[in-house]
Amino acid sequence: MDRTLVVVGASLAGLRAVEAVRGDGWTGPVVLIGAEEHLPYDRPPLSKGYLSAAECPDPTYRDEDRLTRELGVELVLGTPASALDLDARTVTVGERDVGYDALVLATGSYARTLPGTDGLAGVFTVRTLDDARLLRGALRAGSPKVTVVGGGFIGSELASAGRALGLDVTMVERGPTLLASAVGPSAGQALTRLHERHGTRVLTGVRVEEVLGDRRVRAVRLSDGSEIETDILIAGIGAVPATAWLEGSGLSLDDGVLADATLAAAPHVHVAGDLARWPNPLFDDVLDGPMRLQHWTTAAEQGARAARNAVDPAGARPFETVPYFWSDWYASRIQFAGIPTAGDHEVHVELVAGDHADGGPFTALYRANDRLIGALALDMRAEVMKYRRLIAQRADWETAAELARTRREKAAERTST
């Protein structure tokens, strides 16, 4: 009898899981379970171009015929999985128990919400297609004042989308600078200047104490006592892994689902995407524990590897990756490869190209001990991928510095001619 692969989570990681095994020749039944009614769709544009584009784009990856007929997938959409029985090897979806021989969990995460905003109109998060559709309509209703809470990449993309529509946008970040945990304080300050150049008001070192309004948001009161009038309040304060349905299942849950280097969380169960916390072998010399990533690239790569390991446990391979993500603000592209922190190891950041004093193009490298661990670039799109390859090779700092010198010399020659 053919073995059945069940994939829980019909987003990018789940889709890539299905595509990978079918591409490898897997002929057994495949069931793809998704909480939303939508077919798998591309999430990153939802906080970027989807909000500001004149025409509403379709973010769906594949049509239903491609999934069901060409890939032979049974779709179970519109109802979230509610329980996992490891002994019986079943996933409960509504009133149905779906049996599996191999299981990939890729249920992703959900957006954090601001306390005290339940039932208050004008308050938004952006995690799903339905979220984005609602916000897109609200941003086009008159000329609203927009407040974005959270100075990470999602908050920055939302602020950029609001400014692209000509709206009055204020960002509120409780930390001393935007993106301090994602890229470090000095680079965060450089990227903050990009916002300011485009007319976004940025407030740091303050937090939202109270959201004011009766049935609809009217203003927010900050920790310094000031108030900001707002018509639209957007929470960009991070996401929480969707593990509540797995409580009591026997899996180890700790800010995600804990897995080994092959992404195995239990016999016959593998994890991928926002849900997965696993020891990345590539950084075993600078990190003491597992990592959890919320990047498009990682979700795609993990989904494929988790499914391959799930259907062929004897040939399971560790999953190692150089994290990579990009973010589009205004007309600029920010890219980061690697990791910005390294546990107890001190990380040094060195500018190797450009000048970030005025928010212009630059490249910065991150070093822990004598190893290159990260690279950040603003509007220097060809640079980061070269350093990503070095990070994958565990290159030392001198190798990275030599590449940076060579790049600067070539750039100077082009300029002089």
* 33 close to 91: Cβ distance less than 8 angstroms: yes
Closest CA to 9 of 42, 30, 46, 35: 35
Q: CATH classification of 113-237, choosing from 2.60.40.3500, 3.10.580.10, 2.60.40.1220, 3.50.50.60?
A: 3.50.50.60
Residue 164 makes CB contacts below 8 A (sequence gap 6+) with 52, 330
Helix 397-416 to helix 381-392 angle (10° resolution) is 160
Q: Which of 380, 363, 361, 330 is nearest to 183 (CA)?
A: 363
Residue 267's pLDDT is 96
| β partners of residue 212 | 219
Which class is 5-110+240-315 in CATH? Answer: alpha beta
Looking at residue 78, its pLDDT comes to 96
Residue type at 164?
Answer: A
Rg (CA), the chain: 22
Average pLDDT of adjacent 10-residue blocks, the chain of 417 residues: 91 96 95 96 89 84 87 96 98 97 97 92 95 94 93 94 95 92 85 92 96 95 96 95 97 97 98 97 92 95 98 96 94 93 88 75 93 94 92 96 86 70
At 254 the three-state DSSP class reads coil
Tokens for 315? 């040939």
Q: Point out which residues pair with 91 in neighbouring strands.
A: 84, 98
Geometric angle at alpha carbon 234, from 229 and 236, rounded to 5°: 130
- How wide is the angle at C-alpha 313 spanned by C-alphas 312 and 316, nearest 5°? 90
- Report which of 9, 25, 14 is spatially closest to residue 311, judged by C-alpha positions: 25
Per-residue model confidence as pLDDT tens digits over 113-142? 999 899 899 999 999 999 999 999 999 988
In DSSP notation, 118-159 reads TT-BTEE--SSHHHHHHHHHHHTSSS-EEEEE--SHHHHHHH
Residue type, 281: P
Cβ-Cβ contacts under 8 Å for 73 (sequence gap 6 or more): 18, 30, 31, 32, 67
In eight-state DSSP terms, residue 68 is I
State residue 293's pLDDT score. Answer: 95
pLDDT at 319: 97
Reference 53, options 136, 144, 145; nearest CA is 136
For residue 125, the model assigns a pLDDT of 95
pLDDT of the residue at 1: 53
- Per-residue pLDDT, 358: 64
Q: Considering all CA atoms of the chain, what is the largest pairwise distance in Å, rounded to the nearest integer?
A: 71
- pLDDT of res. 185: 83
Picking from 125, 85, 104, 137, the residue whose alpha carbon sits closest to that of residue 8 is: 104
Virtual torsion, Cα 284, 285, 290, 291, nearest 10 deg: -100
Please state which of the four CATH numbers 3.30.450.20, 3.40.50.1000, 3.40.50.12780, 3.30.390.30 is assigned to the domain occupying 331-416.
Answer: 3.30.390.30
Distances (CA, A) of 277 to 249, 316, 405: 17, 17, 36
> For residue 416, what pLDDT is reported?
67
Q: Which two tokens stand for residue 156?
A: 């920055």
Whole-number pLDDT of residue 412: 73
Tell me how many degrees the CA angle 345-348-354 measures, rounded to the nearest 5: 155
Cβ-contact 29, 18 below 8 angstroms: no
pLDDT in the model for residue 82: 98
Q: Is the pTM of this model over 0.95?
A: no
Q: Using one digit for the tens of pLDDT, what is the confidence trace for 81-121?
A: 999 999 999 999 999 999 999 999 999 999 999 998 998 99
Q: Where in the chain is the domain with CATH 3.50.50.60?
A: 5-110+240-315, 113-237
Q: What is the pLDDT, as a whole number, of residue 288?
A: 85
